[in-house]
Amino acid sequence: MPRVNAPLPAHRRPIRELPDELISQIAAGEVVERPASVVRELVDNSLDAGATQITVRLQAGGIRLISVEDDGIGILREELPTALKRHATSKIASLNDLEAVDTMGFRGEALAAICSIAEVSVLTRTDEGAAHGWLLDGRSGELQPTARARGTTVEVRELFFATPARRKFLKSESTELAHCIEAVRRHALARPEVGFAIWHDGKLVAQWRAVAPDLAGGEHLLDALRRRLADVLGEEFIENAVAVNWPASDVPGEEATAGGQQRLRVWGFAGVPDAARSRADWQFAYVNGRFVRDKVITHAARSAYEDVLHGHRQPVYALYVSIDPTRVDVNVHPTKIEVRFRDSREVHQAVRHAVEGALAAPRSAQTLPVTGPLSATPTETPASTFLATVPRQQPLPWRPEAPQAGQRVSDLEALWRPAERIAAPLDAPDIRRAEPVFAPTPATQEAPAPLPDGEWPLGRAVAQLHGVYILAENAQGLVVVDMHAAHERIVYERLKQQLDAHQISSQPLLIPATFAATPEEVATAETAAEVLAQLGLEIVPFSPRTLAVRAVPTTLAAGDPVELARSVLAELSQHDASTVVQRARNELLATMACHGAVRANRRLTLDEMNALLRQMEVTERSDQCNHGRPTWRQLGMKDLDALFLRGR
């Protein structure tokens, strides 16, 4: 027999309105996951209030007490009771405001949701002639005067006391404290002009002082950001990172406008490949100052590293994207940690180009100030300008008729001959059968001239070790170079440059390859026909649900055209430029470069070794081989002295 007064099945219950308190508790389930969620929401409000110093006080990992104190503009007395109501906010008033949100918070539901599951009090004072501050009790609504300086303090006690079941899901106090510190740290990385302090059980556990840029003194925003990153992530992060600034002609952070819209800008710091970690825990991405986890930015950053990163290592970076608020939707996730771009392809391309450009410049040029031929200061000169200050190498001539593949080691000095003395490159190569070689040096060629005077970043070669490593001496000490890995990268980059100078040729298929396509694939093939043609692909509709591949890139003619077409269309549906063809092309060129590079156990003369070092200094991404492994290492005098216990 059924139980008396048993609840009705869900499909037989009447439809009714939920009470306000239950609505707020449901909203709290989306907004407040743990104490760190409360900290994040309250710090967001403090930043929107113009605070320059924010202090977070915690007890029992934030479970017993969360107090966020700031020196912002405060809240007016008559507006204070309204601040705790659901969907009450001063940050938006119309749909136009919602479509152009430029504040950290905007929904107006955080304080109401927190009040429904905890005891909340607000202490605030404005500077508009207020004689004192006001204290509001969130439970009773009682408002009473109190003493306080300008700013606001929000105290949250006994989190989840009204929903004890939720409290059981919390972790240990140390774990919750770590999440709270991480929440504040993410804010600190984006706002170097704001000071942050975290106290736990009466002890100071973290503090980051404000490092506002001194614009009058000429201090760049990147300098302030560099100091904040060093404070938060450690000096090691900055020492192993390069500055990202795209476009390079503008100052990052400034609202440059074009046609009334804020320009898309990317800046920050990207870790060098050697600093990669096994986990992706040091990847920080911000959009208009808001920390986000965005697939577009993550994929773009990873794509920029794929040619220099070894294995499955994860890059480290702190990247900041500035974009017009009307071109990004921040109202797609309750915790505001996800965004949606109006033109995600543009953002993807900008982030990838920004990081690639920062990583391209050889780091060897930053080891010392260079004199003589390298008169420019590498640390302050873009890669294009730096390359213009050294002898420009000619494109690799292609010699399909060469009986022996690879580069003749004795001909390395040909790279430093004047341009008119080097044979012009042949026509575009067929990379399926050609191997890269350098122009041969005639037997009557005079001996190479001695190296110009001055200090070179990778120094001067002094010896070769077991036919594998080159030992060189520079101002810092000893440089050890893996000659095969270094030459492999040099040949690889030259192959890419030469192939990029020619349009990708396509090869028509004798019998078009047809395949069943989704509506999205058909639409992408029609709208991206011009981009597909640039990639050497011709994909046309064969029927409403079928696509036909009529032509493929010549370099990939031996592959599966259907698989290639599906991959390219999938990429084009997400990003502006497909990386599938480029990745396949790069893999093929990397294999060719490996076979064309100088082999181990090959004895080189000092002139040949020096020529290789000089070429490394001007070749992009020469710090890693094609597989992401390092090509050279620096041993300073201190390192050498330590090996022999000198000075002890």
554, 430 in Cβ contact below 8 A?
yes
272, 238 in Cβ contact below 8 A?
no
Mean pLDDT is lowest, of 64-68, 256-260, 362-366, for 256-260
101 vs 26 pLDDT, higher one: 101
Q: Identify which of 91-105, 148-162, 187-201, 529-543 has the greatest average pLDDT.
A: 187-201
Counted residue by residue, the chain has a size of 648
**Pairwise CA distance, residues 387 & 389, whole Å:** 5
pLDDT at 327 over 80: yes
549 vs 364 pLDDT, higher one: 549
Comma-separated ranges of CATH 3.30.565.10 domains in the chain:
20-208
Paired sense of beta strands 265-271 and 317-322, if any = antiparallel
Phi, psi of 620 (to 5 degrees): -65, 140
Mean pLDDT value of segment 405-432: 39
Phi, psi of 617 (to 5 degrees): -70, -20
Q: Which pLDDT band holds residue 91 (cuts at 50, 70, 90)? A: confident
- Cis amide leading into 247 (omega within 30): yes
For 221-361, CATH number out of 3.40.190.10, 3.30.70.360, 3.30.230.10, 3.40.50.300 equals: 3.30.230.10
- Which pLDDT value is given to residue 227? 92
Q: Which pLDDT band holds residue 583 (cuts at 50, 70, 90)? A: low
Q: At what angle do helices 344-360 and 295-305 cross, to 10 degrees?
A: 30
Would you state the structure tokens that stand for residue 574, as one six-digit string? 């997400």
pLDDT at 216 over 50: no
- Which pLDDT value is given to residue 308? 86
- Which pLDDT value is given to residue 380? 34
Q: Which pLDDT band holds residue 221 (cuts at 50, 70, 90)? A: confident
Q: What is the pLDDT of residues 64-89, one digit of tens each?
A: 999 999 999 999 888 888 888 877 77
Mean pLDDT is lowest, of 199-213, 298-312, 408-422, 508-522, for 408-422
529 vs 232 pLDDT, higher one: 232
**Pairwise CA distance, residues 544 & 562, whole Å:** 17
Q: Identify which of 193-207, 212-226, 320-334, 465-479 has the greatest average pLDDT.
A: 193-207
Question: Cα 429–430–431 angle (5° rounding)?
Answer: 95
3-state SS record for 116-171: CCCEEEEEEECCCCCCCEEEEECCCCCEEEECCCCEEEEEEECCCCCCHHHHCCCC
- DSSP letters, 319-336, are EEEE--GGGEE-TTSTTS
Tell me, yes or no, if the pTM score tops 0.75: no
**Pairwise CA distance, residues 49 & 231, whole Å:** 24
Architecture of domain 482-599+607-632: 2-Layer Sandwich (3.30)
494 vs 542 pLDDT, higher one: 542
Q: Which pLDDT band holds residue 53 (cuts at 50, 70, 90)? A: very high
Comma-separated ranges of CATH 3.30.1370.100 domains in the chain:
482-599+607-632
**Pairwise CA distance, residues 221 & 253, whole Å:** 7
Neighbours of 439 (CB within 10 A): 19
Supply the Cα-derived Rg of the chain in whole angstroms. 31
pLDDT at 420 over 70: no
Query: 612: which residues sit within 8 A by CB, 6+ positions away?
Result: 412, 470, 481, 483, 486, 487, 490, 598, 604
Mean pLDDT value of segment 498-525: 85
- Which pLDDT value is given to residue 558? 73
- Which pLDDT value is given to residue 528? 83
Paired sense of beta strands 261-262 and 257-258, if any = antiparallel
**Pairwise CA distance, residues 143 & 124, whole Å:** 11
pLDDT at 382 over 80: no
Architecture of domain 20-208: 2-Layer Sandwich (3.30)
Q: Which pLDDT band holds residue 572 (cuts at 50, 70, 90)? A: confident
DSSP code for 434: -
Would you state the structure tokens that stand for residue 347, as one six-digit string? 């953002």
Mean pLDDT value of segment 45-55: 93
Q: What is the pLDDT of residues 115-172, one digit of tens each?
A: 888 899 999 999 767 788 999 988 888 899 988 889 999 999 988 877 777 777 888 8
Q: Identify which of 23-27, 114-118, 449-453, 514-518 has the greatest average pLDDT.
A: 514-518
Give the CA distances from residue 383 to residues 59, 121, 389, in Å, rounded to whole numbers and listed in that order: 51, 55, 10
641, 647 in Cβ contact below 8 A?
yes
In sign, the C-alpha dihedral spanning 289, 292, 297, 298 is positive
Mean pLDDT of the chain: 77
**Pairwise CA distance, residues 529 & 537, whole Å:** 9
Helix, strand, coil abundance in the chain, percent, nearest 5: 35, 20, 45
- pLDDT > 70: what percent of the chain? 74
Contacts by 108-112, CB closer than 8 A, 24 or more apart: 109/27, 109/31, 110/31, 110/41, 110/42, 110/44, 110/45, 111/41, 111/45, 111/83, 111/84, 111/154, 112/24, 112/27, 112/84, 112/85, 112/86, 112/87, 112/88
